[in-house]
């Protein structure tokens, strides 16, 4: 199955007419136009990105996946018009196991434009999650889920379906170009692997060789390596006989290393003519390697595998000749491996129940609650307390913090059948109805009681203030009235005296006016 993320209809890409299914109903996020970061990226025009506002973790949940062993590959993209300086950095997990963290500069490294892991999917579904790390929004161009042989890359006696392999590096040495398995004409059961071409391990340290001769025992189960892969190689020189490849890796990890050979040089025709040791970080892991002897003849594929722990940040593979003057190598595969940390029973029972609870409570998207509740350990669910169960080696939920969600109503009696339940909803003052707790009813919380007390006190203070002001105003009015009453007789006497004077003046003026009228005007001559 191949999904073109963000696409609203099925898409076929050239030149192989590969079918990509439309992206509908698998996840949240936002579809957008895409910008391809590398020439090896599928020629698709859309992607899906996941803003942090939609939660710290977002998952593609794909159902109807037949039980089996799969190569899961995820291509990253950039939202159109985005620059390389804005490249998002985020974590990726499959089935609850973190497999990869994007590193700064991935947009300029072709083999970092995608990540790939081999996993066993046994419950009919695949959960592929993207976890924000605060460095941009995860943006996914495409997802491929390709079934491979159940025994592909069997590498340790304790091999089990709890093993997950992440591709760190896959190199095709010598002449040629970087190609996918389909371009090599490989068997589809090989998972359409991408082979990054490398023409030299170092300046003047080796030289390429190639042939057109048919290679025996190449495209065989369970790995189905393409025959074309073995027709070119790198050979060390007489001046620098050791053939050395060095790769930067994450420390404190276990790595499964697969080395590919075929004797294609005409100068080597018999057993014993080319013999070398293989060292990893200075330790001999294969001694007296004779390709002709081990493969059964010339032009015959040989694959050697070993698993090593690496404590430092460098993985160095050295081929050191013992017989003959040079060493030879055809291809290199390096995988980081780990066991599943996801508890599938927990994920599909309790996880689904909690997602139903999330929906019922209307929890905001930022809570996440997608994928496995406890793993990856770096990205657990908000409000979920997890611990490692020693007997199974899996992470389980041992507590939930559901504070502030206004849960109400009676506690279901069915909770009494959960024999492992030890404590229910601690620190919840609203619980009632069992011995030791208050009877159920309209009880007030401590905060509510404090609020009511403060409100009552404030109202009482306002009442007192209003009463004092009213009383003072009333006293002022009474005082003014008393003063007015005492001054009333004096004011009345003054009023009468003033009126008498005014009347006298009025009468005098009237008399004078009358005399003048009688005498007439004074005439001047």
Q: Are 206 and 236 in contact (CB under 8 A)?
A: yes
Specify which of 311-320, 368-377, 424-433, 438-447 reaches the highest per-range mean pLDDT.
311-320
- Helix (H) or strand (E) holding 90, with range, is strand 89-94
- Which pLDDT belongs to residue 471? 80
Among 101-110, 311-320, 495-504, the least confident range: 495-504
pLDDT tier, 130 (very low <50, low <70, confident <90, very high otherwise): very high
- Which pLDDT belongs to residue 86? 79
Burial 462-493 (b: 16+ CB within 10 A, else e): eeeeeeeeeeeeeeeeeeeeeeeeeeeeeeee
- Which pLDDT belongs to residue 287? 97
Given a cut of 90, whether residue 50 has pLDDT beyond it is: yes
- Which pLDDT belongs to residue 200? 95
- DSSP secondary-structure letter at 351? I
Given a cut of 60, whether residue 519 has pLDDT beyond it is: no
- Which pLDDT belongs to residue 460? 76
The model's pLDDT over 103-117, given as tens digits with 9 standing for 90+, comes to 999 999 998 999 999
Given a cut of 50, whether residue 518 has pLDDT beyond it is: no
Query: Residue 438: CB partners within 8 Å, gap ≥ 6?
Result: 432
299 vs 401: which has the higher pLDDT: 299
The model's pLDDT over 361-415, given as tens digits with 9 standing for 90+, comes to 777 666 667 767 777 777 777 778 888 877 777 777 888 887 766 677 777 788 7
514 vs 450: which has the higher pLDDT: 450
Domains defined along the chain, listed by start:
1-162 (2.60.120), 165-339 (2.60.120.430), 362-432 (no CATH)
- Which pLDDT belongs to residue 489? 60
Q: Are 179 and 85 in contact (CB under 8 A)?
A: no
Main-chain dihedrals φ then ψ at residue 211, nearest 5 degrees:
-140, 165
Q: Are 87 and 113 in contact (CB under 8 A)?
A: no
**125-135 vs 30-35, strand pairing mode:** unpaired
What mean pLDDT comes out for the span 119-128? Answer: 89
Query: In sequence order, what are the beta bridge partners of 235?
Result: 207, 328
What mean pLDDT comes out for the span 213-236? Answer: 95
What mean pLDDT comes out for the span 39-56? Answer: 92
Given a cut of 70, whether residue 445 has pLDDT beyond it is: no
> Per DSSP, which regions of 186-330 are E strands?
194-198, 206-210, 232-236, 243-248, 253-261, 275-280, 283-289, 302-310, 314-323, 328-329
Distance CA 144, CA 4 (A): 9
Distances (CA, A) of 284 to 237, 276, 306, 319, 375: 21, 11, 11, 10, 36
Instruction: Name the token pair of 41.
Output: 């990226």
CA torsion 495→496→498→503, rounded to 10°? 140
- Which pLDDT belongs to residue 366? 64
Distance CA 524, CA 59 (A): 128
Q: What's the N-to-C CA distance of the chain in angstroms?
A: 142
CB neighbourhood size of 282 (10 A): 7
Tokens 């001694």 correspond to what residue? 287
Distance CA 2, CA 22 (A): 9
Residue 456: Cβ-neighbour burial (10 angstroms; 0-12, 13-18, 19+): exposed
Query: In sequence order, what are the beta bridge partners of 48?
Result: 31, 140
CA 414 to chain centre: 35
456 vs 283: which has the higher pLDDT: 283
> What is residue 420's three-state secondary structure?
coil
Distance CA 366, CA 360 (A): 16
Percent of the chain with pLDDT over 70: 84
HEC readout, 311-335: CCCEEEEEEEEEECCCCEECEEEEE
Closest CA to 33 of 139, 157, 185, 107: 139
Distance CA 384, CA 121 (A): 25
403 vs 298: which has the higher pLDDT: 298
Distance CA 289, CA 173 (A): 19
What mean pLDDT comes out for the span 231-260? Answer: 95
Residue 64: Cβ-neighbour burial (10 angstroms; 0-12, 13-18, 19+): exposed
Given a cut of 90, whether residue 256 has pLDDT beyond it is: yes
The model's pLDDT over 177-188, given as tens digits with 9 standing for 90+, comes to 999 999 999 999
What mean pLDDT comes out for the span 7-28? Answer: 92
Average pLDDT, the chain: 84
- Which pLDDT belongs to residue 515? 42
Please state the pTM of the whole predicted model. Answer: 0.75
pLDDT tier, 338 (very low <50, low <70, confident <90, very high otherwise): confident
- Which pLDDT belongs to residue 82? 59
Specify which of 210-224, 471-485, 490-504 reaches the highest per-range mean pLDDT.
210-224
Given a cut of 60, whether residue 10 has pLDDT beyond it is: yes
What mean pLDDT comes out for the span 303-328? Answer: 95
- Which pLDDT belongs to residue 342? 63
Q: Are 317 and 198 in contact (CB under 8 A)?
A: no
Closest CA to 424 of 394, 440, 401, 445: 401
- Which pLDDT belongs to residue 517? 40
Given a cut of 80, whether residue 429 has pLDDT beyond it is: no
């Amino acid at each position: 199955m191949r999904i073109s993320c963000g696409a609203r209809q099925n898409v076929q890409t050239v030149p192989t007419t590969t079918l990509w299914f439309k992206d509908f109903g698998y996840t949240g996020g936002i579809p957008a136009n895409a910008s391809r970061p590398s020439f090896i990226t599928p020629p698709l025009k859309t992607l899906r990105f996941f803003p942090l506002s939609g939660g710290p973790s977002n998952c593609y949940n794909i159902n109807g996946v037949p039980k089996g062993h799969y190569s899961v590959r995820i291509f990253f993209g950039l939202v159109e018009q985005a620059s390389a300086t804005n490249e998002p950095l985020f974590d990726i997990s499959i089935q609850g196991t973190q497999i990869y963290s994007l590193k700064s500069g991935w947009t300029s490294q072709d083999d970092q434009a995608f990540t790939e892991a081999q996993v066993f999917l046994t419950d009919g579904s695949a959960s592929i999650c993207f976890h924000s790390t605060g460095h941009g929004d995860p943006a996914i161009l495409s997802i491929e889920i390709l079934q491979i042989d159940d025994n592909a890359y069997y590498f340790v006696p304790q091999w089990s379906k709890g093993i997950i392999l992440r591709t760190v590096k896959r190199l095709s040495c010598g002449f040629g170009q970087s190609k996918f398995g389909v371009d090599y004409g490989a068997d589809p059961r090989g998972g359409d692997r991408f082979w990054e071409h490398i023409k030299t391990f170092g300046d003047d340290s080796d030289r390429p060789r190639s042939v057109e001769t048919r290679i025996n025992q190449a495209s065989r189960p369970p790995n189905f390596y393409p025959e074309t892969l073995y027709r070119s190689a790198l050979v060390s020189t007489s001046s620098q006989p050791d053939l050395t490849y060095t790769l930067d890796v994450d420390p404190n990890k276990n790595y499964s290393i697969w080395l590919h050979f075929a004797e294609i040089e005409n100068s080597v025709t018999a057993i014993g003519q080319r013999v070398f040791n293989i060292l990893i970080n200075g330790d001999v892991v294969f001694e007296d390697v004779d390709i002709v002897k081990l493969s059964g003849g010339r032009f015959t594929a040989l694959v050697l595998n070993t698993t090593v722990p690496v404590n430092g940040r460098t993985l160095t593979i050295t081929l050191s000749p013992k017989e003959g003057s040079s060493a030879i190598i055809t291809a290199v595969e390096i995988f980081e491996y780990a066991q599943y940390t996801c508890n599938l029973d927990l994920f599909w029972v309790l996880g689904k129940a909690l997602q139903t609870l999330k929906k019922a409570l209307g929890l905001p998207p930022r809570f996440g609650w997608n994928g496995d509740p406890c793993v990856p350990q770096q990205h657990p669910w908000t409000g979920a307390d997890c611990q490692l169960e020693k007997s199974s080696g899996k992470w389980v939920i041992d507590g939930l913090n559901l504070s502030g969600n206004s849960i109400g109503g009676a506690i279901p009696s069915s909770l009494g059948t959960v024999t492992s339940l030890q404590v229910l909803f601690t620190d919840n003052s609203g619980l009632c109805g069992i011995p030791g707790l208050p009877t159920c009813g309209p009880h007030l919380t401590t905060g509510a009681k404090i609020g009511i007390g403060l409100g009552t006190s404030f109202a009482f203070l306002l009442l007192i203030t209003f009463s004092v002001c009213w009383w003072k105003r009333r006293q002022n009015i009474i005082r003014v009235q008393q003063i007015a009453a005492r001054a009333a007789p004096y004011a009345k006497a003054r009023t009468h005296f003033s009126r008498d004077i005014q009347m006298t003046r009025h009468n005098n003026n009237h008399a004078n006016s009358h005399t003048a009228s009688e005498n007439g005007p004074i005439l001047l001559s």
